[in-house]
Amino acid sequence: MKRNIITLAALLLTLSMSAQFRINMGADSPLRKLQIAEMAISNLYVDSVDETKLVEDAIRGMLKELDPHSSYATPKEVKSLNEPLQGNFDGIGVQFNMVEDTLLVIQTVVNGPSEKVGILSGDRIVTVNDTAIAGVKMPKEDIMKRLRGPRGTKVKLGIVRRSVPDMLYFIVTRDKIPVKSITASYMIRPSIGFIRIDNFGATTHQELIEAMNNLKGQGMKDLILDLQDNGGGYLQAAVQIANEFLQKSDLIVYTEGLRQNRIDYYAEGTGRMLTGKVVVLVNELTASAAEIVSGALQDHDRGWVVGRRTFGKGLVQRPIDLPDGSMIRLTIAHYYTPSGRCIQKPYKKGDLKEYEMDFENRLKHGELMNPDSIHFDDSQKFQTLRQHRTVYGGGGIMPDAFVPLDTLQYTRFHRQLAAKSIVTDHSLRYIDNNRNTLKKTYPSFQEFNSKYQVPQSLIDSILAAAEKQNVKAKDEDEMKRTLPYLRLQLKALIARDLWDMTEYFQVMNEENHIVQKGLEVIQN
């Protein structure tokens, strides 16, 4: 207990000595009051207390009264948050899913540790270092812990493979496994490339360069940049990506806060796609760094934005590392687009619930279905920098071409099937049973895409499983509206597991209304 108090006192002293924070440790300072309260509870309270939790709760309580994006993360949460953005983690290099309480390998990472020792798609990992992980109801998080580990360490995997009667054992040496930000890249039409970015991480810019070079080699002149559902990431990655499209000295974004001077970020004019048409696809889940890119291309009249108004996350967080590996992410400034629009949507300090209800409120007010339901304040009217078109601030990026949410395409019944994992589970079982036959019948994705039809037996098995779980279409009309999109989704899932995410999106995009509108815009 005494050591903990000394540690806290040392931390407070470090902060008080920092010119950056300029903390007043006088007798009347709020920080002094907090210190006395913590020391009193730790030393005088009638029962034992968890000091770590006490301090964490105090930090969370303070941050809760600020904006919706200032937050505290434990050391474990910090690691989990950073992995998708850092571009790699240490592991065995497999994509997997759980089928009937068993880990099924969907794909191995190319040139990854598992592929090198001979593990194949369709293999079932049933033991890790001689400990059973199949049929024992082990949580997925615990399985992940056993499979992951520091680079260079070894793990023994027991594997069941179809057509092989005995258990197979492999010694896998863990290594760095890449985490990709770009999940799809292909020629969607002659001369038109399609690239989908899921987040903005440390490797995103390099991935984009490689994808664009590859597509240019296939004749790409124009590009559809898909940022739907992209929750953002690193500011620097957004600046690098916007730079690929903008002219030298074009302002990309600037940040400014009460205690933070304005910082401008400019294009260097070194981009690989300074000419050619660009369409950016967005929706209500496009946020933060993705909004920076969308706003920059729109303000400079470099790209046409298609979809629905973006999320409106325009607050800059500074990570403040704490001694135990935990972190405070504190909002210090706002993001502004080149025309001066603030990306951040309005919020009330301390009212996280209302902020989180924004999507439901947009749906209730009809904004997701009809652009006329969106009412902009005239004080938030801005002009684009080249063509002087009117654009609006006040929260998020409003697209140039609006695409309504189609609530008829994705029915209530389909949403329930997805929520219960019925669609995913049955598609995995189907692929597991038919993988070799499918590969022989369709040696290329092009053949699969043009000829494959989802069998009625797979649909019937899904409907039967749904009925067992009391999931039913409310009437015949809902069933009829559900089946076409269900078949499309199943075909896409099968393509993903036989090939990769690019093939998944090649199937799905032909019925994605925002993608199809983007094609219409870029072709016209």
Q: Is 400 designated active site?
A: no
Distance CA 362, CA 369 (A): 9
Catalytic residue among 181, 185, 250, 313: 313
192-197 and 182-189: which strand pairing? antiparallel
Distance CA 326, CA 57 (A): 13
CB atoms within 10 A of CB 235: 20
Q: Is 497 designated active site?
A: no
Tokens encoding 19 = 């010119």
Residues 6 or more apart in contact with residue 225 via CB below 8 angstroms:
195, 197, 278, 279, 280, 281, 293, 303
Identify the three-state secondary structure at position 214. helix
304-307 and 278-282: which strand pairing? parallel
Catalytic residue among 288, 294, 326, 427: 288
Residues 6 or more apart in contact with residue 201 via CB below 8 angstroms:
84, 85, 86, 87, 179, 181, 233, 234, 237
Catalytic residue among 123, 175, 250, 299: 299
Ramachandran angles phi, psi of 259, nearest 5°? -115, 15
Identify the three-state secondary structure at position 463. helix
**CA dihedral sign of residues 324, 326, 329, 330:** negative
**CA dihedral sign of residues 489, 491, 496, 501:** negative
Q: Is 216 designated active site?
A: no
Identify the three-state secondary structure at position 332. strand
Could you give the residue numbers annotated as active site? 288, 299, 313
